[in-house]
Amino acid sequence: MLAVQRSAVVPDSLSVPSNAPEHCPGTESELAGKADACNGCANQDICASNTPKGPDPALPLIRDRMATVKHKILVLSGKGGVGKSTFTAQLGWAFAADDQIQTGVMDVDICGPSIPTIFGVALEQVHSSSSGWSPVYVQDNLGIMSVGFMLPSSRDAVMWRGPKKNGLIAQFLKDVDWGDLDYLVIDTPPGTSDEHLSVVQYLKESGIDGAVLVTTPQEVSLQDVRREIDFCRKVGIRVLGLVENMSGFVCPGCKTESQIFKPTTGGAERLAKETGIQLLGKVPLDPRIGKSADYGVSFLDEYPDSPASDAYLDIIDKIKKILGNESTP
């Protein structure tokens, strides 16, 4: 599984033509061929024409690649900093704790790729073989893919407009040799923008099992999660449930719990009742979660006695049941 050949190189052009201007609005934009940036571009007439565009040639390739993936789960939240990537990592670690379950984690947070650090493989590189790009394997049954592996250093900013982001996401889906997976967990950035729309579009034919929405107890976070729920409903993604992260603080010494971020408007519990969405659980704050993420180790393995570990495992069991996988495949 770990045998690879040569380092993969990210193409200079993903979905944008190599001769496109720097501020190309993208071929699918209403401004294609009409924006100021299009002046002088060799593709301007084609983009501005009313000739119907054919289906995206990447779609059948993605459908074929995803045919060996049983379940695809999105981790979403309209608000940044609520712990989506940390939750994604714990979900991946928990699935892969059963060595019979093949798990993949795809990081589509193009501008803030933290998944490699959380899994402790930030210094690894993506390699390619005749079957495509190989994920970076944390363990034999847990592979991850992120743009973070392709940057010259962790300090390098990714300053891409929508078309390039979309093109890389398409490559992660069609060119990565995921193999036979039981679960593919997709970590997304905050909001409801390019990356989210791209994932939905590219996986439309192969299907998305559902999304887990992560929030914190404060109303400022819940407001953005409401928008994320609206997004899911508009694009036809089933919401598997809500997770309230940072729900109270657990003292590592005495194990007592206190409220840090008070749910002034009822928190995720009230939001779940208002929207008819299942509350999967509440994960309390534990300083060791951040420590585990910094050191790239599984919090669930390192601190199984933490109330947060109990909460994570209970949530993950509920997700498995929703997907019809109460027992080991």
Residues annotated within the binding site are 24, 38, 41, 47, 78-85, 251, 254
Supply φ then ψ for residue 137, to 5 degrees. Answer: -95, 120
Cβ atoms of 181 and 42 closer than 8 Å: no
CA angle at residue 314 from 266 to 329, to 5 degrees? 140
Q: Sign of the C-alpha dihedral, residues 281, 233, 89, 203?
A: positive
- What CA–CA distance (Å, rounded) separates 217 from 259? 10
CA distance 200 to 274: 25
Binding-site sequence positions for ATP: 78-85
Surface-to-core class of residue 94, CB atoms within 10 Å of its CB (0-12 exposed, 13-18 middle, 19+ buried): buried
Other beta carbons less than 10 A from residue 290's beta carbon:
13
Which parts are annotated binding residues for [4Fe-4S] cluster? 24, 38, 41, 47, 251, 254
Q: Which of 79, 74, 76, 85 is nearest to 289 (CA)?
A: 85
The Cα 263–Cα 216 span in angstroms is 8
Handedness of CA 129, 130, 135, 137 (dihedral sign): negative
